[in-house]
Amino acid sequence: MLKLKSATPRWIILIIDLLMSILALGLAYFIRFDMNTNLKAMQNEWLYNWREFLIYVVIKLSVFYLFKIHLGLVRFTSTEDLKRLLSASLTCTLIFIGISAIRSWIFNTTYLFPSSILLMEFIISLLFLTGSRFTLKLWYLESIKTDQPAQKTLIFGAGSMGLIAKRTIENDQLNSQRILGFIDDNPKLTGNRIDGITVFASSDIERLHLLHQLEAVVVAIRNPAKDRLNFVVDYCLANSIRIQRVQDPETWVNGELTLKKIRKINIDELLGREEIQLNQAELNRYLSGKTVLITGAAGSIGSGITKELAQHFGGTLILVDQAESPMYDLQQELWDKHRLQFIIGDIRNKSFLENLFEKHAPNAVFHAAAYKHVPLMEENPQQAITTNIQGTQNLVDLSLQFKVEKFVFISTDKAVNPTNIMGASKRIAEMYVQSKKNEGPTAFITTRFGNVLGSNGSVIPLFQKQIDAGGPVLVTDPEITRYFMTIPEACQLVLEAFVMGTGGEIYVFDMGKSVKILDLAEKMIRLHGLEPQKDIAIQFSGLRPGEKLYEELLANEETTLPTHHPKILIAKTREIDTQFKEAFTALLSNENDLLEKVSIMKKIVPEFISNNSRFQTLDRAKKV
């Protein structure tokens, strides 16, 4: 194809625009005389109107120059250029009308041009100016297109983001995608055409694939319905269709989308559920002007709660964590937020906590600090006991002493029928929190949920590293399943439970359906455009110490009660017996060795049965 010259001198553009305007004026006269004229008539018209023609040329040149219509690069003509052309053409016409009025009213002579001529000239010249630019732009775009076969693509989302994505893809000279249409489930849009292409329902993707052999789908919706997104993604993965997603507009450079911001879709975008609407007004009303202490503030949940409160909450946040580097990262992220105090400290140190409570007098406590990695705690049970149990005891006792209004304990589904030290330590901490519910003004609330997507040490970042390294991806067991929740979702539910809690409740969050980890690994590999067991191997490493195949949210003896929030239930747990206090004291005593401490944990939590662990001998001894 003929290549267009990309640097035409600006004066040539100005002359071409003027010539097209003159041609438009000639056509206007031709139409005015019913397209029936001859050379003699034309000569007479020229002799009579040559001065007016010179005025026309001077005005057109002057106005075009003043409006700088010649400076716009023709190959990048935009709506702004069209506005400039319209303004210039309209200005010329208004000047001609003004001169005609002066000639007629003041000098009592003829109009500059007949009104019909002016109207037709305006319309025709505008069509010539705009049409020539778009013709050259289309010619240029065709001339720079790659010779590679066009990749047949659908855009999921027919809103403004989808339209921007379409134009970005089409305007990129190195891109070889051909947009076949939009898919969108908005009934007001389906069946219509936007920017020249049809909008289909997402359920039409199979038919479109069979008809056109689709090669790519670009997701261009900010918050798509999770079920429809998963439907489209699953179909694409099953049929080897490349799936990508437009990143959030907040990440675009100077508000403009580039192809670099269209990337592969992440697995956590598929596992999360619909966005939860937090009762923000009630939360603000309760916390307004108050001081909130957050332990484990640099961790996944602690930092999530911190960010949520820092965004809306007008009180003081006291942030405590023993991990210096993550706390520094959080401080840098929230450097522009006021009323935040970052404190490095250990919740096992009661004197440190006592000074903290005395100095800041918190009105509410969110206790998220804990050791959470199951295999590590199985090898280091004393650390789980001192941090997860004794650290919680320190905070609970000080909250009572300093009359904290509300205390929220962040627990885990691993506390239900625990098979490991970590889960048992969290269950005992739950029991201690519950045992203090009637001993003072503090309302003690426990929240319990499963794995959090993207949290430190979770399976998804681990799989991602293994895929990036070329494999293998290590799955412990082909049948293992887990519940997942996004960090924002978990934090919002914790805050909602905080608002609704009155004391003594264990809130269980709706975790949706459990996910098979093998399916998760295979889907992550396919999202990278790779084939499991062909491009990336999957190997089974066996259950780790303390790990179980299936996690639960309720123990066998527990039932639930509903709340006003459909995703939050109250677990009805067994009452804390009178022997708990004595056993709890013995557990924290320095007189008992490690095996004795774990044995006491099993007495406090009878359902604690070790799995794939050295402590299974204690279960056998208990049966004997």
What would the two tokens of residue 369 be?
A: 């600090």
C-alpha distances in Å from residue 371, one per residue of 347, 572, 620: 12, 26, 27
**How many C-beta atoms surround the C-beta of residue 189 within 10 A?**
19
Place of tokens 């965004």: 311
The answer to whether residue 3 is catalytic is no
> Count of alpha carbons within 13 Å of 1, Cβ hemisphere only?
13
Q: CA nearest 581: which of 418, 428, 427?
A: 428
Residue 351 identity (one-letter amino acid): S
Residue 98 identity (one-letter amino acid): G
Q: CA nearest 357: which of 391, 322, 392, 397?
A: 397
> How far out from the chain centre does Cα 495 lie?
20
What would the two tokens of residue 400 be?
A: 């009572």
C-alpha distances in Å from residue 464, one per residue of 261, 420, 458, 459, 522: 20, 26, 11, 9, 12
Q: Cβ contacts of residue 616 below 8 Å, gap of 6+?
A: 610
What would the two tokens of residue 364 be?
A: 């509410």
What would the two tokens of residue 596 be?
A: 């004795």
Torsion region of 404: left, alpha or beta (phi above 0 gives left; psi -120 to 50 gives alpha):
beta
Residue 478 identity (one-letter amino acid): P
Residue in 152, 414, 523, 597 annotated catalytic: 414
Q: Give the whole-angstrom CA distance, residue 366 versus residue 167.
A: 47
- Measured over the CA atoms of residue 54, residue 60, residue 61 and residue 63, the dihedral's sign is positive
Cβ atoms 88, 105 nearer than 8 A? no
Q: Give the whole-angstrom CA distance, residue 162 versus residue 183.
A: 10
> Count of alpha carbons within 13 Å of 170, Cβ hemisphere only?
18
Q: Cβ contacts of residue 393 below 8 Å, gap of 6+?
A: 429, 432, 588
3-class DSSP assignment, residue 163? helix
What is the helix (H) or strand (E) element at residue 335, kind and residue range? Answer: none
State the catalytic residues.
414
